[in-house]
Amino acid sequence: MSDTLDALALPAWVLGPRQVTEGHLVNLATVNEMRLATFDVKIPGAFVIP
């Protein structure tokens, strides 16, 4: 999987530096027709692992 996303292409819910990585990973997964899997229930658009 390549990472060609612009650093400015973050979701609107990214409001600070602590959310940048999560926002980028969600976008990267979406662009590559995948879904980010995580334990973090606070990441919009991600699949939360039970």
1-50 tens-digit pLDDT? 568 888 788 999 999 999 999 999 999 999 889 999 999 999 999 999 99
pLDDT for 25: 93
pLDDT for 4: 83
Give the pTM: 0.82
**17: Cα separation from own chain's centroid:** 13
Q: What are the strands, taking DSSP E only, across 1-50? A: 37-38, 47-48
pLDDT for 6: 85
* Residue type at position 24: H
